Amino acid sequence: MPRIEPRRIEKPWGHEEIFAVTERYVGKILFIREGEALSLQYHERKDETIRILDGLMELVSGPEPEALESHRLQPGDVFHVPPGTVHRMIALEDTRVLEVSTPELDDVVRLQDRYGREGTNIP
């Protein structure tokens, strides 16, 4: 199994630390600052599962932007995001999230983004 050195990637909402990349999965920790949010997005191929480690967040998800449901997640909660699911994570307090996904790191279609990154595969 390939090993990588953990790497930290700064994001406008906080940062992520990628700690594992293999042919089958990617493991990372997301650090989302209170009041910040990831893009409203979906993935065409990427399948991800998140576990809340610390903090409190609202996750909205659904089949399309007009049909989103809100989920309040706290430490220990797990949420699965299959391909095609529209979703957004919003930190209600500083939040740390474990994300394990299939390895398609560039498979992001941003529908809305408060940091001006709308579009496909924009870092």
Tens digits of residue pLDDT in 33-89: 999 999 999 999 999 999 999 999 999 999 999 999 999 999 999 999 999 999 999
pLDDT, residue 65, reads: 92
Mean of per-residue pLDDT scores for the chain = 92
pTM: 0.89
pLDDT top residue among 96 and 4: 96
**Beta pairing class for 26-32 and 95-101:** antiparallel
- CB count within 10 Å of CB 114 equals 12
- Which pLDDT value is given to residue 106? 84
| Dihedral sign (CA 109, 88, 22, 5) | positive
Question: CA torsion 57→62→67→70, rounded to 10°?
Answer: -20
SS3 of 111, please?
A: strand
Segment among 22-26, 66-70, 104-108, 115-119 with least mean pLDDT: 115-119
CA 8, 89, 73, 21 torsion-angle sign: negative
Rounded-to-integer distance, Cα 90 and Cα 93, Å:
9
Q: What is the distance, to the nearest Å, from the Cα of residue 82 to the centroid of all Cα atoms in its chain?
A: 12
Flag whether pLDDT at 90 surpasses 80. Answer: yes
Per the CB < 8 A criterion, the answer to whether 91 and 30 are in contact is no
Cα 91 to Cα 122: distance, rounded to the nearest angstrom: 21
| CATH for the stretch 7-113 | 2.60.120.10
pLDDT for 1 beyond 60 = no
Categorise residue 56: left if φ over 0, alpha if ψ from -120 to 50, beta otherwise.
beta
- In the structure, what pLDDT confidence band is assigned to residue 3 with cuts at 50, 70 and 90? low
Residue 2 has pLDDT above 70, yes or no: no
